[in-house]
A and B are shown apart, each in its own frame.
Chain A
Amino acid sequence: MTKPTTASGNRGLQLEQGLIFEQDTPGATAVDLPALPHTRDRLGGMKNTKRIGLPGMSEPEVVRHYTRLSQKNYSIDSGFYPLGSCTMKHNPRLNEKMARLPGFADVHPFQPVSTIQGALELIDTTAHWLKALTGMPAVAMSPAAGAHGELCGLMCIKAAHIAKNQGNRTIVLVPESAHGTNPATAALCGYSVESIPANSEGRVDLAALKAALERSGSNVAAVMITNPNTCGLFERECIQVADMVHAAGAYFYMDGANFNAIVGRLRIGDLGVDAMHINLHKTFSTPHGGGGPGAGPTVLSAALAAFAPVPFVVHDAQGYSVEEQAGFGAAKDSFGRMKGYHGQFGVFVRALSYMLAMGSDGLKQASGDAVLNANYLMARLSTELTPAFPGPCMHECVFDDRFLKGTGVTTLDIAKALIDEGVHPPTMYFPLVVHGALLMEPTETESKATLDQFVDSLLHLARKAKAGGAEAEFKSAPQLSPRRRLDETKAARKPVLRWTPPAAGAASQAAE
């Protein structure tokens, strides 16, 4: 396909935009400040005498710069984003409005407790919802994201084993279909990781788990299982798994990344789970923000609750207070602190705003619609694509690349061609146990019309690939996006990770 060339490089609404450093007007600023009072300097000898090198711009230039950058992004506001395991659901603007109430946004973490009763009530109420939805007795609110919540859960588990003089338990069993954060987290906790294979149904191989527990049971600290798992399937035998894990003296960590599939229907406390993190930025609609911030509160069983990290809110007849020091009072067995201040408070406000809006009935309907949408995609797409496992699936469905066999077209090519069709590609090549995987999570906030349009596009691409002769066209996709395929090898071989003034550029690159 040939594209019209323009003198500016712009293409209609696709506007090229240089770096802020290339728009520098020395001395310019978009922030005018009140006059500087005359005082003596109390900096000692620490005053900087060198130029920092920041560019200067006016307010209209800055607003235009970021507006143009924003227009190069795909987003859930603008289109379908079926990124498996990421739960890209609608982010209600009410959440943003609530988080900006001055009584929430403009409160400082170290105000006297008497002046922040509403903030502590908000944390306590959010915790109450999370405990009620999971049927768990306790929740650690401070973890900052999913992986941080995993760390919280494993730290509680390690502290519990040490309290029982079982510090010899150093192995964590993780299914091979797990997200990479599971083994990475176990390593950060000083544990070694043993992988448990999946069976042909895409679930944990119970016999292999049993064998691993028999082999090294007295050294196993925990079993970490994502449920629903990364193949989009519910681990049917999770209660038996919990029993086996507990019989071996270990704890059962459930990765809650996919909680959106079961929220409002099933309480994980009824499955024998000891710890599970909840990604508020997935299940509870807080925005992903191009990579964060999230929040990963971690619910805990009675066996682990005493080891929870500080801080936590205490509610009694005198009102709300906060326990901030591990080793004292109600926090005497706490393993310590894992995050500054009181956790991701602004994310809690947004999540509670969503939970109050949905209610117990709305949340149950949401998980129902999420699972219905995923099964609908699976049913319609199975006419041309090859599902990796038989259904029903939960909130996401996974296809392998058998349907592309012999076409020369790969999973990556299909994904890039979907970009030209105006949708964000599904998760590619994950889970690792599925060859050439395409993992699709539609969420409950998509209409049937959106799903149908996506299915029609994808069926069209699958037929085109199978018909043959279109390999070159697929390899050159996407054609219509702000950029075409980018050279990732070049980026990694000679990393350019920051702007450098032209004169200093050569020296900086020589250092690498």
Chain B
Amino acid sequence: MRYLPLSEANRRDMLGVIGAKSVDELFRDLPAAALAKARIDLPKSASEIEVERALSAMAAKNLNCGQGPSFLGCGNYRHHTPASADYIIQRGEFLTAYTPYQPEISQGTLQAIFEFQSQVALITGMEVANASMYDGATACAEAVTMATRVTKRNKALLSGSLHPHYRDVTLTNAKFLDLDVEALPPDPMAVEDLLGRVDDTLACVVVQTPGFFGHLTDYAVLAKTCHAAGCLLVVCVTEPVSLGLITPPGHIGADIVVGEGQSLAGPACFGGPGVGLFATREKFLRQMPGRLAGETTDEDGRRGWVLTLSTREQHIRREKATSNICTNSGLIALAFSVHMTLLGEAGFTNLAQLNHATAVSLAEKLEAIKGVKVLPQTFFNEFALKLGKPAAGVADKLAAKGILGGVPASRFYPTFPELTDVLLVAATETNTPADLDAFAAALKEVLS
């Protein structure tokens, strides 16, 4: 087997040094009854070419987004990944390193984390960011539990603009921790009243911008109202490219900003692995979950980085830790950071403008179709469409024409009949003018 270096001669020699007759003898602590039962009915080892053949056949059964124009979003966006970004994360020194527990020989990972933390803090407008969480949804759930620690209150309110997966993961965590979390119904017209619900029993209010249905909402007044009640404002961002164009949540008063970094890190990969972004204010640092890299010096006085403030973490604090997270999303955070570095300020803002302009062009083409209405007044690169016909059937018919033309809202809200005809549509820099025309023509045909 090509991954195993020991030869039979090695094994014999090593058993001799150990003083054992066979490898099986080394397993003598395993219960004999269980060993006798262990029949494992699986295929035998395979060559590289055979594995490649089997997996390629499976991959070929999918319609990939590059085969036809794709307009799918809902927290997972198709952007162009620069070739050098994917190259860098495949360097073995990054790919095959462990968590940087020995800082003297892990400065590459540590400096990259420090730069990642700095970039996330800058684009969210916050003071500090951690080294990443699993994904946006788990980061959102962690933000709510952090808010309950900061405020010593156990109630939270989730906006109907929040991604339904973020809502569900937060509700799952809340259920097991006996937190009182209320999730408002989906809010496709951005009319919910959050201000009227803020009171001094709430640990936090969680909103999302751009909202799940696309709206951009100014939450500055909500932030002030929350703060007056001693409550935190948590802002979720599922499309970080939007931060190249719209006011960062930190500047309107957010206390915790969480988000999903996938869209800048690489391809959708069927939704995982992503990278959870987590940023907050410096005064809440000690309640923050997750790893942190910090600056220091070595014995020769040279600048270097270490993992720090680990007394918050499970390997030190055990059941009193701020979270149980250990493995995070290091390599995807690196991919995010490399892409941000490649973009720089100019590239990041250009990319955001191109996304918005493409989405505006698409909205204009689609709202020209009879019976189709763009629901949000304002949006970044994604918006909800009201079709007047069941959206799931429309999406299937578009897919049959090779166009991945949006996600039906009913997939997330099966018990809300008023959302049956709502389709969520995103456009990015990967969509050409011809793609937009093809989508509009196909939608017109399917609806007629």
Contact = CB atoms under 8 A, between A and B. Distances in A.
Nearest to B50: A356
Contacts, number: 723
Interface string B295-322: 1111110101110110101111111110
Nearest to B128: A497
A368 B271 CA distance: 35
Given A238-B31, A345-B269, 12 more contacts: A30-B341, A119-B270, A125-B58, A266-B30, A266-B38, A288-B99, A293-B275, A375-B20, A378-B18, A483-B304, A486-B306, A497-B308
B373 to A, nearest CB: 14
9 A-B pairs closest in CB distance: A341-B271, A103-B59, A289-B331, A77-B92, A118-B61, A291-B330, A109-B271, A56-B344, A29-B347
Given A70-B94, A236-B31, A445 B121 contact: no
A7 interface: no
Given A30-B82, A56-B346, A144-B135, A290 B176 contact: no
Interface in B68-125: 70, 72, 74-76, 78, 82, 84, 86-109, 111-115, 117-119, 121-123
B3 A371 contact: no
B342 A114 contact: no
B222 interface: no
Nearest to B310: A492
Interface string A394-424: 1000000000000000000001100100001
Nearest to A451: B14
B306 A47 contact: no
B283 interface: yes
Contacts of A338: 138, 169, 172-173
A502 interface: no
Nearest to B247: A48
A36 interface: yes
Contacts of A117: 61-62
Interface residues of A, number: 213
A265 B251 contact: no
A92 interface: yes
Contacts of A294: 327
A18 B246 CA distance: 30
A28 B285 contact: no
A248 interface: no
A70 B328 CA distance: 19
Nearest to B320: A187
Contact of A486 (B111, B285, B298): B298
Nearest to B215: A44
A112 B399 contact: yes
Nearest to B87: A63
A492 B308 contact: yes
Contacts of B320: 187
A188 B327 CA distance: 16
Contact of A70 (B91, B218, B411): B91
A397 B2 CA distance: 25
Interface in A1-46: 9, 17, 19-21, 26-31, 33-34, 36-46
B245 A358 contact: no
Contact of A379 (B19, B135, B323, B328): B19
B37, B274, B311: most-surrounded residue (chain A CB, <10 A): B274
A144 B332 CA distance: 13
B341 A262 contact: no
30 contacts: A29-B342, A30-B342, A43-B246, A55-B341, A66-B91, A71-B108, A72-B106, A73-B107, A75-B94, A97-B52, A104-B59, A106-B64, A107-B62, A109-B76, A110-B407, A133-B42, A187-B324, A236-B31, A271-B34, A289-B89, A292-B332, A293-B329, A338-B173, A340-B75, A345-B272, A346-B273, A352-B55, A378-B18, A497-B129, A497-B308
Given A147-B327, A234-B30, A345-B269, A92 B66 contact: no
B31 A356 contact: no
Interface stretch (A297-305, A320-328, A463-471): A320-328
A233 B29 contact: yes
Contacts of A316: none
Contact of A371 (B23, B108, B127, B343): B23
Contacts of A39: 356-357, 360-361, 364
A155 B347 contact: no
Interface in A107-132: 107-112, 114-119, 121-122, 125, 129, 132
B88 to A, nearest CB: 5
A292, A373, A508: most-surrounded residue (chain B CB, <10 A): A292
Contacts of A102: 59, 64, 66
B342 A511 contact: no
Interface string B260-302: 1000001111111111000000110100000111111111101
Contacts of A295: 273
B248 interface: yes
A74 B338 CA distance: 20
Contacts of B317: 180, 184
A448 interface: yes
B5 interface: yes
Nearest to B251: A50
Contacts of A59: 82, 84, 342
A420 B50 CA distance: 42
Nearest to A115: B63
Nearest to A268: B34
